[in-house]
Amino acid sequence: MAKSKTIRVTPNVQKCLEELSAAIKSLPAGENKKRAEGAVSYLSRTFKGKPQTGKGRTCPGGTFFIR
């Protein structure tokens, strides 16, 4: 693991997040869509520099993660 806990959001990483956000819109309603929206929401908040729950060490309750 890198010594720095800073995440560098490069233009290509930001574009990937935008593409994922657009792709989620085409998913049918259900658990997969809900999990994907949660994952993208978490990444969006992280990319904006908002602190991660538990300083990123643990999975916060009630949020969704890609496994």
Percent of the chain with pLDDT over 90: 36
CB 46 within 8 A of CB 52: yes
Q: Where are the domains of the chain?
A: 11-47
Structure tokens at 8: 């560098």
CA dihedral for 35, 14, 50, 5, sign (positive or negative): positive
Average pLDDT, the chain: 80
10-35 confidence digits (pLDDT tens):
899 899 999 999 999 999 999 999 99
